């Protein structure tokens, strides 16, 4: 068996940048017809145009269920019924429970939790009777205590439990559902975070964040994408209900 998605339709949310974009690109290279789904329409179009293979952009706010259902219907019409779903869309937040406002909490819940639910709500009925693969992008923040990540950790813990629930409920329908939990990955978000919060100290703080992984560096989006491709391909046909920490040793090797 190979990491092959030929003749399969793959939907990747949050695919205009970062980890989502890397996953979408890798899926296109593996032969999939890829739906590049993102709230940022222009960026989604640019990402789709940059991929080697069949990729189309779809503008969608994953927190709004009517939009998600309409988008999946459009994807099925243009690319075929969904075979693979990657829930990668997400937003971040820094803060404790005291510094997290209700607006912050609701915003993270809407995208990181409800957005995953909406994707599942649209994809699972289309996969029943045919089978399919679902991958949810969680985080090490949902597995271990990380300072100043109260709301973000809450959402990623919910992503993990949704993963296990879908895997259990639909194993008889040949729908597999797994999760990946990255530690820090070098994406444009990281660069923007450092520029906003540590002006003039970006290089110093980048190095400090890199050292927080025992392996001594941040992950790369393409490394997450390679694991995603394996888990969504037939090479992983015996794997469901599993969370993979891809974290440079962060969760198990901390001193």
The per-residue pLDDT for range 100-141, each reduced to its tens digit, is: 999 999 999 999 999 999 999 999 999 999 999 999 999 999
CA distance 180 to 166: 15
Show the beta-strand stretches assigned E in the chain: 9-13, 33-38, 54-59, 84-87, 132-137, 175-182, 243-246
The DSSP call for residue 140 is G
CA distance 79 to 72: 10
Q: What is the pLDDT of residue 144?
A: 94
Task: Parse the chain into domains and list their residue ranges.
Answer: 9-183+221-246, 188-218
CA distance 81 to 58: 15
The per-residue pLDDT for range 193-214, each reduced to its tens digit, is: 888 878 999 999 999 999 989 9
pLDDT at 189 over 90: no
Catalytic residues, by residue number, are 152
CA distance 245 to 103: 30
The per-residue pLDDT for range 41-100, each reduced to its tens digit, is: 999 999 999 998 899 999 999 999 999 999 999 999 999 999 999 999 999 998 999 999
Of residues 212 and 12, more confidently modeled: 12
pLDDT at 22 over 60: yes
Residue 1: band (very low, low, confident or very high) from pLDDT cuts 50, 70, 90: low
Q: Which CATH superfamily is domain 9-183+221-246 in?
A: NAD(P)-binding Rossmann-like Domain (3.40.50.720)
Q: What is the pLDDT of residue 255?
A: 53
pTM, full prediction: 0.95
CA distance 150 to 99: 9
């Amino acid at each position: 068996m190979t990491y092959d998605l030929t003749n399969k339709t793959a939907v990747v949310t949050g695919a205009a940048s970062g980890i989502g974009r890397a996953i979408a690109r890798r899926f296109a290279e593996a032969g999939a017809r890829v739906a590049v789904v993102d709230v940022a329409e222009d960026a989604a179009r640019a990402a789709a145009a940059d991929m080697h293979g069949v990729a189309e952009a779809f503008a969608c706010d994953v927190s709004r269920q009517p939009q998600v259902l309409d988008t999946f219907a459009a994807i099925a019409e243009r690319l075929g019924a969904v075979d693979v779903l990657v829930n990668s869309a997400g937003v971040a937040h820094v803060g404790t429970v005291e510094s997290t406002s209700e607006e912050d909490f609701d915003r993270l819940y809407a995208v990181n939790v409800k957005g995953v639910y909406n994707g599942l709500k649209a994809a699972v009925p289309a996969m029943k009777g045919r089978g399919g693969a679902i991958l949810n992008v969680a985080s090490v923040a949902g597995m271990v205590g990380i300072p100043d990540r109260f709301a973000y950790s809450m959402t990623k813990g919910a992503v993990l439990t949704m993963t296990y629930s879908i895997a259990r409920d639909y194993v008889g329908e040949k729908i597999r559902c797994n999760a990946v939990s990255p530690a820090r990955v070098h994406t444009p978000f990281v660069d923007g975070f450092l520029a906003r919060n540590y002006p003039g100290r970006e290089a110093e703080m980048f190095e400090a964040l890199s050292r927080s992984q025992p392996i001594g560096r941040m992950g790369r989006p393409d490394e997450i994408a390679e694991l995603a491709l394996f888990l969504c391909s037939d090479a992983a046909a015996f794997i469901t209900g599993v969370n993979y920490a891809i974290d440079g040793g962060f969760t198990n090797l901390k001193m």
